[in-house]
Amino acid sequence: MIKVLAFDVDGTLTCANNELDPSLRQKLVVLSKKGMHIVLSTGRPYEDLKAFQNKNGFYTHAIMLNGAVMLDSDQNLYNFKYMDQMIAKQVCQVLEHLDLPFICYTKENNIEYPCSKMSYGNVMLMRLGQDSDIRNLLDSFVLIDDQFDHEHVFKIETVFEDLTEIEKARKALETITGIHVVSSMNFNLEITLSSVSKGQSLLEHIESLGYDESEVLVFGDSENDRSMFERFTHCVLVENEENDFEYPSLYKCKSCKDNGVFDFLEQNSYLFESV
């Protein structure tokens, strides 16, 4: 019987407007009150996730930065998993050489590396739309300076104005050992320590609470959700026309634009009969 629901956020629970559909939010609240343990599992940093939580009034445990940090329901950060200092520096050097805009998400600040072309923020607004709710994220950025020593880096993210550059960047990053490279959108790459993933952090989280792998149902839509799909048997692949991620998951549902997660939860209530 399912006792834990783990949700990716972007493209799964919400689209570019950063809002939960009211019917979905109410469904999650009801399930939570009945005893279902709900976990958000996202690539977002705290500032960006907090904006989502505040906008929807929905606070719960969360896995952030693809598994590098955990957030409890009282908004306390814990279980930090940093990149090796020299590895983080190597990644930065590769991305600088390719003249790509990127962000180092660290314990203290979110460090922005500019490039000679479009900035990270401008690429995001171009891809997501000018009305996308990412202002809290962009406002958290601090420009790189000589004092940054590549310590306490959780994740490095780069975005692409020109999608043809993605494969070149992937191949360049393959020369660095000890990293895990995934994408959550069709125009970005996200780099963490090789041992860090959503799947591993979710497993650690549910085991710490006494749940079994068979009691977890995972929802995701993109490559950075693969580790959860590989780790857990009960998985729902959410349709997303904006990326080409595929996985032979046990279940599928419609896109977030069609409120697919809500429909799935409504139509498969037998999974939660004891809740």
Distances (CA, A) of 22 to 56, 66, 179, 247, 275: 9, 26, 38, 29, 21
* Boundary-marking domain end, from 165, 193, 221: 193
Same domain, 137 and 11: no
* DSSP summary character for residue 202: H
Domain count, the chain: 2
Same domain, 225 and 99: no
What does the pLDDT read at residue 131? 74
* Boundary-marking domain end, from 193, 218, 238: 193
Q: What is the CATH number of the domain that holds 179?
A: 3.30.1240.10
* Boundary-marking domain end, from 193, 226, 258: 193
Same domain, 259 and 239: yes
What does the pLDDT read at residue 275? 57
What does the pLDDT read at residue 241? 83
Dist. CA 190–CA 199, nearest whole Å: 15
Same domain, 57 and 89: no
What does the pLDDT read at residue 61? 96
Helix (H) or strand (E) holding 26: helix 22-33
Same domain, 144 and 50: no
Three-state DSSP class for 75? coil
Same domain, 98 and 71: no
Q: Which residues pair with 253 in a beta bridge?
A: 238
SS3 content of the chain, % helix, strand, coil (to 5): 35, 25, 40
Same domain, 67 and 93: no
Mean pLDDT per 10-residue section of the chain, whose length is 275 residues: 96 89 96 96 95 94 97 93 97 98 96 96 91 86 94 98 97 96 94 96 97 96 95 94 82 94 94 71
Dist. CA 148–CA 129, nearest whole Å: 31
Same domain, 71 and 89: no
